[in-house]
Amino acid sequence: MLFQKKKKKKNSIVKLVLIDLLDKNVDIYRNSTTNFFEETTSESLGRYVILSYTYKLNGSRSKKEKA
């Protein structure tokens, strides 16, 4: 994750994620146990950007506002 911004009311979040920033197109998966080690490489989708916005409908109220 590259960037995350929360608003003052803490009920919304904006995220910016860059995938495969160097454009290598390679995914690496590594799995190891005490007796076994496995490394798998495969081609990825390539370079892309994800921008997401999350808004909580219930919000987050402070204790003073609830009383």
The one-letter amino acid code at 16 reads L
The string of pLDDT tens digits covering residues 11-66 is 888 888 888 777 777 878 899 988 999 999 888 778 888 888 888 887 555 555 55
Q: Which two tokens stand for residue 61?
A: 């109220």
Q: What is the pLDDT of residues 32-45, one digit of tens each?
A: 988 999 999 888 77
Looking at the DSSP bridge assignments, the partners of residue 29 are: 40
Alpha-carbon distance of 42 to 4, in angstroms, equals: 29
Global pTM reads 0.48
Q: Are 55 and 11 in contact (CB under 8 A)?
A: yes
